[in-house]
Structure 1
Amino acid sequence: MSSTYGTLFKIATFGESHGAAIGVIIDGCPAGLDVDTAFIQSELDRRKPGQSRITTQRREKDEFQVLSGIFEGKTEGTPISLVIWNEDQRSKDYSHISQQFRPSHADYTYQEKYGVRDYRGGGRSSARETAARVAAGALAKLLLKQQGVSIQAYVSQVGKLKLETPYQQLELAKAEENAVRCPDPELAQQMFDYIDETRKQGDSIGGIVSCVITGAPAGWGEPVFDKLHAELGKAMLSINAVKGFEYGSGFAGVELHGSEHNDEFYIEPGDETGRVRTKTNHSGGIQGGISNGEDIYFRVAFKPVATIMQDQDSVDVNGDPVVVSGKGRHDPCVVPRAVPIVEAMAALVLADFYLRNKGARV
């Protein structure tokens, strides 16, 4: 099973949804980085369950413990191990699916690949695993902050409710002021009500998380196979329930001519650094697989959660038809809690490319 990610800034996550704990080992983080443990905890708090009635009601504090690699508030350059103990498991809620496959879930494919599966909350396929990524991503954010790089994600769509305003015209910080994490307060309330109504119907709904990265310099990315947008896409598609990734103009760019889509270069008058800028940013801050110094922006599409509180036709491990009844505690829409996960994975990608770029030339 592939549970590792990264080339120089590397992580390996471990644990299951209803096991004793989940956690992450981070290898390759430079020594001497000041570790703000309160910030790491705040990032975990953004992802943890039970935040509102439109999220799973599983009660986990998600408080992390440092086992190694940090001494007197600084990284030592050695492997960093962080663990989060599971506290609110209700494994009995899943006993009914021990021999059944939930439609569109990972139950069947895990069983076919490994011949065994942990049906308690989905085991390793559960989104609970992403808490470990958020902890590692918080450390990556601290490293990137030293380089002037910041990452802000937000919910831009739930079902058919779309945020049409360009990110440049939004106060993205407002996303953290509501349960949906949409920077438009009025639309956020509509989204909340829609998700809540979907929850009451025992159903689920999908959505889109948009992300903006500012401050990344030109030069990050490793063509030809480790292009920056390729790694961002891989990172996002590794998140549970993700069905699509697009950056810059994305699929909408096919409607433009090259004369419209090309980002013309210029140098800002009075800029003594002579930094090359672009008049537009259809490229999404990435050209040739390498950052060009403009804002990097992308969108991540999440499907409706597979586990719903309705009866569905399926089969069991013997191939016999069964009716699967929805039980347990699940998010009716994952995007509000996915925002910090998207940011974390973006941070891990950029931290890795930051370190890799140091060896690009003499």
Structure 2
Amino acid sequence: MSTFGKLYRVTTYGESHCKSVGAIIDGVPPGLKLTEEDIQVQLSRRRPGQSDITTPRSEFDTVHLQSGTEHGVTLGTPIGLLVQNKDQRPHDYTETDLYPRPSHADYTYLAKYGIKASSGGGRSSARETIGRVAAGAIAEKFLKEAYGVEIVAFVGSVGKVALPFEHEEDQVLGKEYMNLVKTVTREQVDAEITRCPHKATSVKMEETIRAAKAANDSLGGTITCVIRNAPLGLGEPCFDKLEAVLAHAMLSIPSTKGFEIGSGFRGTTFPGSQHNDPFVADAEKGENRLRTTTNWSGGIQGGISNGEDIYFRIGFKPPATISQEQETAQYDGTAGTLATRGRHDPCVLPRAIPIVETMAAIAIMDQVLQQNARSSTAALLAPVTHLPPTMVFPGQRKE
């Protein structure tokens, strides 16, 4: 489906070479100060043509708000927004009349619908993510103003080039990596063309991407994302656990192939005695709030946020479109040689950063609205006073 979320509902529309792409966002709270400039920041970080290691397609991706605001303030009604597709070149895709491109969605879309877009990837194109990024930028603004939420993503690896942080034998994840997760800023990420906030590694990544581009080839890699100051108690067990919702959001992004949260697969190699996150009192928060001495859980326990940083990693495959001749089959099964044309990213990682951040914001925003609906409804009931203290959260107990 083209809609994500239950209370913060984002519906995207558009194909890669149609007249425009965009979104309808339902559930934006009224009274939020919002202008097109607030949204444009993330769209400009996502747009093609921003550096010579991305696709040369020239799109400024200027957003136009169509509804849901007046005088720079949200009305609580659906927000409609669109971005024009201006640099359209459908003639670059005439070869797909005969060939389904290897590892693309041409064949599967045709099998599913019995018809497909004739140019580009249609709805499977990364152009579809424009609507997500715009909707997520609105969610980010609300979460920042209401809760102080910060969401930062960065490139951790490209091909075989990865951050050089060594894992200590007796620690689940390395101290350098965890310090980066705790402290990294968007300014540090954007200072590097690869969006890897480690200069030496970024230089190696850039060299690797340029080599792949010169060879008409492509590279995949990984992105790490951290969500700071997310409210305690987010997540809807049993089937909408917070990590499940985040995984759904991330794996719906084009080219993603893997998701792990907190210690991930490395955590499976440690015993519980080393992997558990012990609790301690959090004097800053008060009200008998707790925090954990370590955070191998990635800020989520039992599918519910525990107040620690939420961090996860996503794997992206190499872009399927490469400007090399490939031996493959036509739709009728006839063997042949496909020579792909067009403008393509040799590596999607640098441009995927704002997509990851804004999809994380959409997921958190939807969970915030659901939790607030539960809390505000429960607050209408008479105080519970007869239960033992351990059954009522200290911050909510009423005597």
Smaller-chain TM-score bracket: over 0.9
C-alpha distance 360-93 of structure 1, shift in aligned 2 (>3 A): same
Contact 1:285 1:293 in 2 (8 A): yes
1:166 aligned to which of 173, 177, 180: 177
Moved more, 308-317 or 277-286: 308-317
TM-score, scaled to structure 1: 0.97
Residue in 2 that maps onto 1:129: 128
CA distance in 2, matches of 1:15, 1:273: 48
Aligned residue runs from structure 1 range 134-153, under 5 A:
134-146=133-145, 147-153=147-153
> 2:98 corresponds to which letter in structure 1?
Q
Contact 1:219 1:290 in 2 (8 A): yes
Residue in 1 that maps onto 2:169: none
Deviations 1:131-187 (CA, angstroms, capped at 9, x unpaired): 111000000001111211110000011011111241424543311112110111121
> 1:71 corresponds to which letter in structure 2?
E
> 1:282 corresponds to which letter in structure 2?
W
User: Structure 2 unaligned runs (5+)?
Assistant: 166-175, 379-399
> 1:106 corresponds to which letter in structure 2?
A
> 1:213 corresponds to which letter in structure 2?
I
Q: How far did 1:270 drift? A: 6.7
Answering whether residue 333 of structure 2 is matched by residue 319 of structure 1, we say: yes
Deviations 1:178-221 (CA, angstroms, capped at 9, x unpaired): 21101111211110111011000000000101001000121011
Contact 1:51 1:179 in 2 (8 A): no
The alignment-based identity, stated in percent, is 50
Deviations 1:282-324 (CA, angstroms, capped at 9, x unpaired): 1000000000000000000000001111111222221211211
> 1:14 corresponds to which letter in structure 2?
Y
Residue in 2 that maps onto 1:155: 155
Contact 1:218 1:292 in 2 (8 A): yes
Moved more, 261-270 or 127-136: 261-270
Q: How far did 1:273 drift? A: 4.0
Larger Rg: 2
CA distance in 1, matches of 2:151, 2:286: 27
Secondary structure of 1:274's counterpart equals coil
C-alpha distance 115-219 of structure 1, shift in aligned 2 (>3 A): same
Contact 1:44 1:131 in 2 (8 A): yes
2:364 aligned to which of 350, 354, 360: 350
Q: How far did 1:269 drift? A: 5.0
CA distance in 2, matches of 1:272, 1:306: 51
CA distance in 1, matches of 2:121, 2:321: 10
Q: How far did 1:118 drift? A: 0.9
> 1:158 corresponds to which letter in structure 2?
V
> 2:66 corresponds to which letter in structure 1?
L
Report the number of matched residues.
Answer: 361
Residue in 1 that maps onto 2:4: 5
Moved more, 345-354 or 141-150: 141-150
Residue in 1 that maps onto 2:314: 300
Contact 2:98 2:330 in 1 (8 A): yes
> 2:151 corresponds to which letter in structure 1?
I
Contact 1:204 1:305 in 2 (8 A): yes
Residue in 2 that maps onto 1:75: 74
Deviations 1:11-47 (CA, angstroms, capped at 9, x unpaired): 1000111000000000111111111432311110000
CA distance in 2, matches of 1:261, 1:83: 46
Contact 1:99 1:317 in 2 (8 A): yes
Residue in 2 that maps onto 1:51: 50
Aligned residue runs from structure 1 range 1-362, under 5 A:
2-146=1-145, 147-163=147-163, 164=165, 165-169=176-180, 171-172=184-185, 173-269=187-283, 272-361=286-375, 362=378
Moved more, 242-251 or 164-173: 164-173
Cα root mean square deviation, aligned = 1.2
Secondary structure of 2:21's counterpart equals strand
C-alpha distance 260-58 of structure 1, shift in aligned 2 (>3 A): same
Q: How far did 1:326 drift? A: 1.9
Secondary structure of 2:265's counterpart equals helix
Contact 1:70 1:80 in 2 (8 A): yes
C-alpha distance 271-320 of structure 1, shift in aligned 2 (>3 A): closer
Contact 2:36 2:65 in 1 (8 A): no
